[in-house]
Structure 1
Amino acid sequence: MKNRFWLALSSLFLSFTIGLLPSTASAAGYTQTKYPIVLVHGLFGFDKLGPVEYFYGIPDALRSGGAQVYVTTISAANSTEVRGEQLLTQVRQILAATGAAKVNLIGHSHGGPTARYVASVRPDLVASVTTVAGVNKGSKVADILTGAPNTSAAIGDALASLIGILSGNKGLPQNAGASLTSLSTAGSLAFNSRHPQGVPTTACGEGAYQERGVYYFSWSGAQPYTNVLDIADPALATISLAFGGAKNDGLVSSCSSHLGKVIRDDYAMNHLDEVNQLVGIVNLFETNPVTVFRQHANRLQGIGL
C-alpha cells in the first residue's frame, strides 16, 4: 500500500515537472519573430551591471527559441524625449546591422514611453511596441518625488551617474529631475498629447490595437510583495501605499500601465519581478516572467511580426 502511494506521488510530481518544461519541438522556433526584439530599460536601468542583467535571463531565453534580441543602453535618468532620441539612434544601428526593416520594441517602466516616442516619430521603423508596467499615464510616486526638495534630484543624478559608470556607459547625460517630470501625471499627460498612439481614452480601458502600422500591447503586475527572500519587496510594499488602495505593482498603477491590447494587468508580480529581478527571485506561484516574455514573442510571431 505504501509503495503504491509513493509510486503514485512520484508519478504525479514527474508529470507536473515535465509539464513545466518546454519540449524540444515547441522550443525550436517558438520565439523566432520576423523582426528583431529590442529591450528598453526603465528609470535607473542598465543593460548589465557585471553579471547582472536588467532583463535578467530574458534575452538568452528569447534567443534560445530563435529570436534576434538586442538590449539597448540609454540614460539611466532623463526625459522621455532625450531617452527616446537615444533609443532611435540605436534602432537605426540595429536595422543597419541586421538588414531588418523594423523592430519589435519592448520597454519596461520608463522604457515604455521611451519606446512609444520612437514609434510616434518613426512608425516606419517599428513593427510593435509593448510596455511592461509602462508609465503610460504617470505614477503617483513620481508625483510625490517631483514635489520633494531639490536634494531628491541631486541624489537621483548621483545614482544615475554611478549606474552609468558601473555599466560602462558613463558618457550618457543624466537628469533625474527631467525623468521625474516625464513620469509624473502632468508630464505623462503632456507627452500623451504629443504622442497619443495606443493610449486608452478612458481611465482604465484599452487603447487602439494598431495605429500607423504599429501594433500596441501591454502587461503588468499587481502584487508589490511576492517573495520573502527578495530584499526589495518590503520597500515596494511600503511605496505601494502611495496609490491609496488602487491596484499597482509597487511603482506603477495597473490602469496607468494600459496601452493598446492589455494582455494582463494583474500578474502576481511587482515592478522588479516583471523583468525577472532581483536576479530571478520572483513569485513561485505565478507564471515566471521569462515565460511571459517568451509567450509574447510567440504572440508577435503569430501575427507576422
Structure 2
Amino acid sequence: MTSAAQVHKPTVAQHPEMFDATTRAEMSKRTQRGALLAAAALGAHPPRRQFTRSSRVQQRAEDPRTRDVGRQIEDDYASIRQHYGTSATPKHPIVLAHGLLGFSELHVPPLPRIQYWHGIREALAAQGATVITTSVPPSSPIPVRAARLAEEIARAGIDTAAGVNVVAHSMGGLDARWMITNILGRPGAAAAAGIKVASLTTVSTPHRGSPFADYVLRSSSGILYLPRLYRVLERAGLSTGAFAQLTTAHVEREFNARTPDVPGVRYFSYGAAVAAPPPLLSPFRVSERIVRREEGPNDGLVSVRSAQWGVYQGTLVGVNHLDLINWPNRLRWMVRGWMGVRNRFNAVAFYLDIADMLAREGL
C-alpha cells in the first residue's frame, strides 16, 4: 500500500468511457466473495420529493435533519459536462478520504495497480484542483484512522493552513468528523498541525451506523460469520476494531455524542439508493434487503437516512455503494450497453460536480 499527496497534471480524456473501461474487479465472478466484500465495505438544494418508506421500517427518534431525503438525483451525472464554469476550481485543496478496507493505491506485482478513487483524482486535477489522496489503516478503530488522516494531510507538502475540503466516502466521513472535532478541534491543535478544514463532504457515510453492521455482528454462521473475517485480517496483520464501531448503537449513542460539528466548518452530504431488489449479479442483494427492512432506501450498505449530515445535497438514484467510487459492475454495464439502456451515473462526473459546488460556495 502506498499513500501520497499528489498534485496531478491535467490528463482527463474528453470521453468518460476511459474511466469506466477498466475496473478493479469482475463483480460478476464474485457471487460469494461479493457478499463478503459487502460486509467489509462499511468504513443546498431544497427538498422536492420523498421516498415512501415501507411499513416495516422501524420508527426511531429522528434527527430533524433526516426527516426528508431531499431531491432525487437520477441522471444529473450520466456523463461529464464539457464545461464546469469559470469558477469550477475550489479555492482550497481537496482531500480524498477512503472507507473501510480502503487504500490510496494498491500494487501487488505482477498485478496492475489498483486505485480506490478510480479515475476520480485525475479528473479533479484536470479541472485544476489540487488533490491530496490519503491512506489510513484499513480496519482500525475510527480514532486511529482519524489520527492517520490528519498526519497524511499535514505531510502532504502543500499549504493546508488556509483550508482544505475533505471529500470522504463511507467510513472515511466518520474518520474526518472525528479528526475535525476531536483532533484538530482541540485548542491550538489545528494551528500546530498546520491544517484548517474548511468543509467536509460525505458520500454515503453511515452517520447513524448501518443495520448491516448490526446484522454481521449478530451472525453466527455462513459467509458473513465475523470471526472468520477477523482471522483473515489478523493473518494479514490488520486490526479488526473498525467493525463494531459501525453499528447503529455505537454511532448514534457514542460517536455522535462525542463528535459534534465544529463551528466554521461547512458540512455537506450525499446519499444513494439502489433499486429494490438489486440485480441478480449485485453483491448487495442480501445487505440491501437487510438495511431496507430497518431503514428504507439504501445503497446496499448505508441508508439514505443514515447518510444525511449537514446540508443534504440529495439522493443518487440507482447507485450502489461501490458505484460511488467508480467501481461499477462491468458485466452489468456491458449488458445495459447491448440492450441499449443508458447508464445514468458516472462517478467521475459526480465528483467533478462536487468540486464545482465547493467552488461556488467559495471553498
TM-score calculated relative to the size of structure 2: 0.64
Matches within 5 A, 1:96-135: 97-101=157-161, 102-121=163-182, 122-123=184-185, 124=190, 125-135=196-206
Quote the offset at 1:289 in angstroms: 1.7
Q: Tell me which protein shows more helix as a share of its residues.
A: 1
CA pair 157-304 structure 1, distance change in 2 beyond 3 A:
farther
Quote the offset at 1:267 in angstroms: 2.7
Task: Indicate the residue corresponding to 1:36 in structure 2.
Answer: 93
Task: Indicate the residue corresponding to 1:304 in structure 2.
Answer: 362
Task: Indicate the residue corresponding to 2:257 in structure 1.
Answer: 193
Quote the offset at 1:29 in angstroms: 6.0
SS of the residue corresponding to residue 151 of structure 2 reads helix
Among candidates 194, 201, 207, match of residue 136 of structure 1: 207
Q: Count residues in correspondence.
A: 256
Task: Indicate the residue corresponding to 1:22 in structure 2.
Answer: 81
> Is the 8 Å Cα contact of residues 118 and 327 (structure 2) preserved in structure 1?
yes
> Is the 8 Å Cα contact of residues 31 and 63 (structure 1) preserved in structure 2?
no
Quote the offset at 1:253 in angstroms: 0.7
Task: Indicate the residue corresponding to 1:203 in structure 2.
Answer: none
Identity of aligned residues (%): 29
CA pair 251-301 structure 1, distance change in 2 beyond 3 A:
same
Report the AA paired with residue 304 of structure 1: G
> Is the 8 Å Cα contact of residues 140 and 242 (structure 1) preserved in structure 2?
yes
CA pair 295-100 structure 1, distance change in 2 beyond 3 A:
same
CA pair 35-161 structure 1, distance change in 2 beyond 3 A:
farther
Quote the offset at 1:21 in angstroms: 5.5
Matches within 5 A, 1:205-244: 211-223=262-274, 233-244=281-292
Quote the offset at 1:185 in angstroms: 0.7
Counterpart Cα distance in 2 of 1:117 and 1:48: 24
Quote the offset at 1:28 in angstroms: 7.7
Query: Which segments of 5 or more consecutive residues in structure 1 lack a partner in the other structure?
Result: 1-18, 163-172, 198-210
SS of the residue corresponding to residue 98 of structure 1 reads coil
> Is the 8 Å Cα contact of residues 38 and 69 (structure 1) preserved in structure 2?
yes
Among candidates 222, 243, 258, match of residue 180 of structure 1: 243
> Is the 8 Å Cα contact of residues 319 and 345 (structure 2) preserved in structure 1?
no
1:256-287 superposed Cα distances (whole Å, 9 cap, x missing partner): 00011111124320000011113877694323
Among candidates 122, 134, 137, match of residue 72 of structure 1: 134
> Is the 8 Å Cα contact of residues 31 and 298 (structure 1) preserved in structure 2?
yes
TM-score calculated relative to the size of structure 1: 0.75
Task: Indicate the residue corresponding to 2:63 in structure 1.
Answer: none
> Is the 8 Å Cα contact of residues 226 and 269 (structure 1) preserved in structure 2?
no
SS of the residue corresponding to residue 297 of structure 1 reads helix
Counterpart Cα distance in 2 of 1:91 and 1:84: 11
> Is the 8 Å Cα contact of residues 149 and 176 (structure 2) preserved in structure 1?
yes
Task: Indicate the residue corresponding to 1:208 in structure 2.
Answer: none
CA pair 91-157 structure 1, distance change in 2 beyond 3 A:
farther
Task: Indicate the residue corresponding to 2:351 in structure 1.
Answer: 293
Report the AA paired with residue 241 of structure 1: R
Q: Does 1:264 align with 2:314?
A: yes
| Greater RCO (Cα-Cα under 8 Å, separation 6 or more) | 2
> Is the 8 Å Cα contact of residues 79 and 345 (structure 2) preserved in structure 1?
no
Quote the offset at 1:83 in angstroms: 0.6
